[in-house]
Amino acid sequence: MKNIKNSLNRLIDTIKEGLIRIKEEHLIREYFKKNILFLTFVITCVINSTMLRFFCINSVENYLAIAPILADLAIVVIVGGLGYLLKPKNRFAYFMGFSIFFSAICLINSIYYTYYTSFASVSMLSLTQYIGDVGDAVVEQAIQFKDLLYILAPIILALVNAKQNKKITLKKIELKSERKKKAIKTVAVGAVFAIIFLFTLTPTDMSRLIKQWNREYIVMKYGIYIYQANDVVASIQPKINSLFGYDQAKKKFKEYFSDTEEHQDNKYTNIFEGKNVIVIHGESLQTNLMELSFNGEEVTPNLNKLASEGMFFSNFYSPVSVGTSSDAELMFNTSLLPTKNGTAFVSYSNRTYNATPKLLGEKGYYTFSMHGNNADFWNRRAMHKSLGYDRFYSKEDYNVTEENTVGLGINDYAFFDQSVEKLTKIAEKYDKWYGMMMMLSNHTPFSEVDKYGDFPVDIKETITNEDGTTEEVSYPYMEGTKLGNYFKSAHYADGAIGELVTRLDEEGLLDNTVLIIYGDHDARLPRSDYNRLYNYDKETDSILDKDDPNYKEYDSYQYELGRKVPLIIWTKDMKGTDLNKEYTNVMSMYDVEPTLGNMFGYSNEYALGHDIFDIKDENIVVFPNGNWLTNKIYYNSQKGEYLSLTEEPVTEEEIKKNNEYASELLDVSNDIIVFDLLKEDQTDENRVIENQEKGT
C-alpha cells in the first residue's frame, strides 16, 4: 500500500513539474505559433464533421455524443501528423489536399442526406450516369445554403497560410530527424484519441459497423470519416465475398428457408387465377395525398374512388433505399429487399430472380412492361429481362414530343393513351397477359406547375362585409411551396389514372382484368415542408408559433409513418363484395408478391415477405436501415428507441426478437442477390432431378 502511495505521489509531482515547465517556458504558446497550420487543419476538419452530424441527425443523443468527435479527431490528427514527414515548404499543399478531401466528404454527404435521408456510399458511383436526368431535383431540393459552409475549411487554411508566410514564423529548414520526431509524437497523440474512442464502443456498435446497413447509426457513433473509410471496404466486400464468402452465405440461406412455414390456403387463394393483370407503378404517390382536399376538391379523386370500390391497403410501406423506384420494382416483383451497397438493378442485373413476370410466364402469361423513360435508366433494359418480362416498351417505342413532355419524359396522359393502343394489340394476340405501366410525370422536383393544370392549393373563403355584400378572399396557404407543387403534380397524375381507367373500360380491357396500383415511394420532401401544411395561420400568412395551443407537432416519427404509399387491388365488379374494404394491417412492398401469388395461383418459395392474409396482424415491415414497424411499434434502430402505436405493453424480449429478425432478413436478402443463390439453388435442384431420372 505504501509503495502504491509513493508511486502516485511521484506521478503527481511529475505532472506538477510538467505543468510548471509548460507555464514558465510558454510551451503551449510556442506550440501554437509553430504549428498553426496543422492546428487550423485539424480544427476546421473536425468542425466540419461535427457540423454535418448536427445538421443531419436531429437527436439529443447525437448532439451530446463525444465518441464521434474523438473518432474524427483521431483520424484528422493522424493524417495531419504524417504531414510533418514533409519539408515545411511542402506541408501546406499536403494539408490543403486533405482539407479539400475531408470537406468534399462532408459536402457530398450533406447534399446526399438532404435528398435521400441517408449518407453517401462509394458504391453509388455506378449511378452517377443518372444524375443528368434528375439534376433539377438535386439542385432544387438537395443543395442548401448550409452545404456551402463546408468549403470554408480549405479557404480558412489558405488564409492562415498566407498570413503565416508574411510573418515567416517557421524555420525554413528542418532536419529529417526533427520531422520524423514531430510526426511520431503527433501520430501518437492521434492514437491516444483513437484508444479513448475505442473504449466507448459496445459489441453492438462493432457489429453495426461491420454490417454497414444502418448508416446513420454508424455516423452517429463513429463520425463521418470512419464511416466513409468503412464504406469503401463494405462497397468492395461483395466482390471479395463473391469469391470467398459463398459457403457461409449458402449455409445461412439454407437454414433460413428450412425454418419457414408452408403457405396455407385462405379465402383469397386463387380468386384471380387466370385473370389478366395491369399494374400501375405510381411515381411518388403517398397515401396522405388521398386524405387531402383544397377548397372542396380532392387531391386524388380517382385514387380515392378506386380505393373505395376495391381492396385498399392503407398501412402499406415501400422501404426503398438509394435505388428509389428501382428498389420498389425489385421488392414488388421478387419479395427481396434492396441491397446493402449499390442497387440490384445496376449492380446485380445478371442474377437469377423468382419474379412475378417470370412465374406468371410459366403459367402461360405474356408479360410486358411499359415506361416512357430511357430504357437504360436504372438499367431497366437488362434488369427487366432478368425479371422475366417478354417485352419492355420504353421511350423509343413512344411518340415523345416537346408538347407532351413533363419532367423526365412523356406525360402520363400521353403515355397511358399510347400504352392502351399497344395493350389492345397484345390482348388480341394473347389469352392471358400481365403488364406493368410505370408513370413518370409525378417525379421530383415537381416544378412544372404551368403544365399541371388548374388546381389551386390556397384557401378560399366567402366573407360578408358590413354593408351586407359578399366577396371571395383567398389566402396563399400552400401556393408557391414545394409541397404545394407536389400536390398539384399528384393531382395531375391522378387525373391521368382516371382517364386510363375510362379508356381501358371503353376498349373492353377491364372485363377479365385485375388492376393493381401502388405508390413506388414517398415524395422525398423534407419534414420541415409539412410544417406549413399543418400549422398555417391564414390571418398572418405565416406558421403558428410552437407555443400556440393550435400548433401541431409533426415530429420525426410522424414523418416516417407518414411516408406510406397506397396499394389498391381493383376489378370493375368488386364494389359491394366482401373483398371491397380497407385492410389496415402493416404491409411492405416485399409482401406483395406472396400476397398476389396466393390470389393468382403462383408461388415463390424464396419470398422474404408474407401473404398478408396469412400473417395478418403479426406482420413486420423491415426498412433497409434496420428500422422496423408492426401494428404495435415503430422502432428506430439508429436511436435505439421506439414509438408505441397502441396501449399494449412492449417488452424488451419483443424488441430484441424483432431486431434479430430484421438483421437476419436484411442479411439473407443481400446474400441471395450478391451470391446469386437462387441460381445456385435451382442448379442444385436440377442436378438432383437429373440424378433421380438416371437412377443414381
**How confident is the model over 156-194, as pLDDT tens digits?**
999 999 887 766 544 556 677 888 898 999 999 999 999
- Statement: residue 490 has pLDDT above 90: yes
Q: How many CB atoms lie within 10 A of CB 369?
A: 23
Output the average pLDDT for the chain.
88
DSSP E strands in 363-432: the ranges are: 366-371, 391-393, 405-406, 409-410
Instruction: Give the residue-averaged pLDDT of 529-535.
Output: 93
Residues whose CB falls within 8 Å of the CB of residue 690, separated by 6 or more in sequence, listed in order:
none
Q: Parallel, antiparallel, or unpaired for β 567-570 and 513-519?
A: antiparallel
Q: Which helix (H) or strand (E) holds 471?
A: strand 470-475
What are the pLDDT digits (tens) for 517-527? Answer: 999 999 989 88
Q: How far is residue 296 CA from its own chain's centroid?
A: 34
Where do runs of H (alpha helix) occur along 25-146?
27-34, 36-56, 60-63, 67-82, 88-116, 135-137
Residues whose CB falls within 8 Å of the CB of residue 459, separated by 6 or more in sequence, listed in order:
294, 295, 474, 475, 477, 536, 538
Provide the pLDDT for residue 263. 78
- CA-nearest of 664, 652, 639, 675 to 555 is 639
What are the pLDDT digits (tens) for 346-368? Answer: 889 999 999 999 999 999 999 99
Provide the pLDDT for residue 689. 47
Residue 627 contacts residue 634 (beta carbons within 8 Å): yes
Measured over the CA atoms of residue 112, residue 113, residue 116 and residue 119, the dihedral's sign is positive
Instruction: Give the residue-averaged pLDDT of 435-455.
Output: 94
Where do runs of H (alpha helix) occur along 605-651?
612-615
Q: What does each C-alpha distance from 301 to 16, 247, 304, 307, 475 come to in angstroms? A: 78, 53, 5, 10, 23
The residue type at 292: L
Provide the pLDDT for residue 383. 95
Residue 77 contacts residue 131 (beta carbons within 8 Å): no
Q: In the chain, count of helices (H) and strands (E)?
A: 25, 22
More confident: 440 or 681: 440
Reading the block at residue 553, the C-alpha cell is 407537432
Measured over the CA atoms of residue 657, residue 659, residue 663 and residue 669, the dihedral's sign is positive
- Statement: residue 452 has pLDDT above 60: yes
What phi and psi values does residue 444 have, to the nearest 5 degrees? -50, 145
How far is residue 7's CA from residue 19's CA, in Å, rounded to a whole number? 18
Q: How far is residue 311 CA from its own chain's centroid?
A: 27
Residue 547 binned pLDDT confidence (cut-offs 50, 70, 90): very high
Q: How far is residue 460 CA from its own chain's centroid?
A: 37
Q: Parallel, antiparallel, or unpaired for β 628-629 and 621-622?
A: antiparallel
Phi-psi region of 286 (alpha: psi -120 to 50; beta: other; left: phi over 0): beta
More confident: 694 or 306: 306
Q: What residue spans in the chain does CATH classification 3.40.720.10 cover? A: 255-694
Residue 180 contacts residue 485 (beta carbons within 8 Å): no
Where do runs of H (alpha helix) occur along 440-544?
482-506, 530-534
How far is residue 95's CA from residue 82's CA, in Å, rounded to a whole number? 10
Measured over the CA atoms of residue 335, residue 339, residue 340 and residue 343, the dihedral's sign is negative
- Statement: residue 298 has pLDDT above 90: yes
Provide the pLDDT for residue 123. 62
How far is residue 640's CA from residue 569's CA, in Å, rounded to a whole number? 36
- The structure's pTM equals 0.78
Instruction: Give the residue-averaged pLDDT of 471-489.
Output: 95
How far is residue 312's CA from residue 583's CA, in Å, rounded to a whole number? 6
Polymer length in residues for the chain: 696
Instruction: Give the residue-averaged pLDDT of 235-255.
Output: 78
Residue 696 binned pLDDT confidence (cut-offs 50, 70, 90): very low
Percent of the chain with pLDDT over 90: 65
Q: Which helix (H) or strand (E) holds 568?
A: strand 567-570
Locate cell 456510399: which residue?
Answer: 121
How far is residue 441's CA from residue 198's CA, in Å, rounded to a whole number? 49
255-694 sits in which CATH class? alpha beta
Reading the block at residue 363, the C-alpha cell is 403459367
What phi and psi values does residue 509 have, to the nearest 5 degrees? -90, 0
Provide the pLDDT for residue 688. 46
Residue 50 binned pLDDT confidence (cut-offs 50, 70, 90): very high
Provide the pLDDT for residue 687. 47
Q: Cis peptide before 445, with omega less than 30 degrees from 0?
A: yes
What are the pLDDT digits (tens) for 314-333? Answer: 999 999 998 899 999 999 99
Residue 521 contacts residue 588 (beta carbons within 8 Å): no
Provide the pLDDT for residue 125. 60
Instruction: Give the residue-averaged pLDDT of 87-98.
Output: 91
Instruction: Give the residue-averaged pLDDT of 228-249.
Output: 75
What are the pLDDT digits (tens) for 365-411? Answer: 999 999 999 888 888 999 999 999 999 999 999 999 999 999 888 99
Residue 262 binned pLDDT confidence (cut-offs 50, 70, 90): confident
Provide the pLDDT for residue 527. 85
What phi and psi values does residue 86 have, to the nearest 5 degrees? -85, 160
What are the pLDDT digits (tens) for 578-623? Answer: 999 999 999 999 999 999 999 999 999 999 999 999 999 999 999 9
Reading the block at residue 242, the C-alpha cell is 463473391
Phi-psi region of 576 (alpha: psi -120 to 50; beta: other; left: phi over 0): left
Percent of the chain with pLDDT over 70: 87
How far is residue 53's CA from residue 224's CA, in Å, rounded to a whole number? 8
174-178, 474-478, 572-576: lowest mean pLDDT where?
Answer: 174-178
Q: What does each C-alpha distance from 335 to 16, 49, 519, 677 come to in angstroms? A: 66, 37, 16, 14
More confident: 361 or 217: 361
84-98, 224-238, 425-439, 550-564: lowest mean pLDDT where?
Answer: 224-238
47-61, 78-92, 228-242: lowest mean pLDDT where?
Answer: 228-242
What are the pLDDT digits (tens) for 116-142? Answer: 667 887 766 655 555 445 445 544 555
Q: Parallel, antiparallel, or unpaired for β 276-282 and 513-519?
A: parallel
Provide the pLDDT for residue 541. 92
Q: How far is residue 646 CA from its own chain's centroid?
A: 27
Provide the pLDDT for residue 170. 46
What phi and psi values does residue 515 have, to the nearest 5 degrees? -100, 125
- Statement: residue 667 has pLDDT above 90: yes
- CA-nearest of 595, 43, 173, 168 to 356 is 595
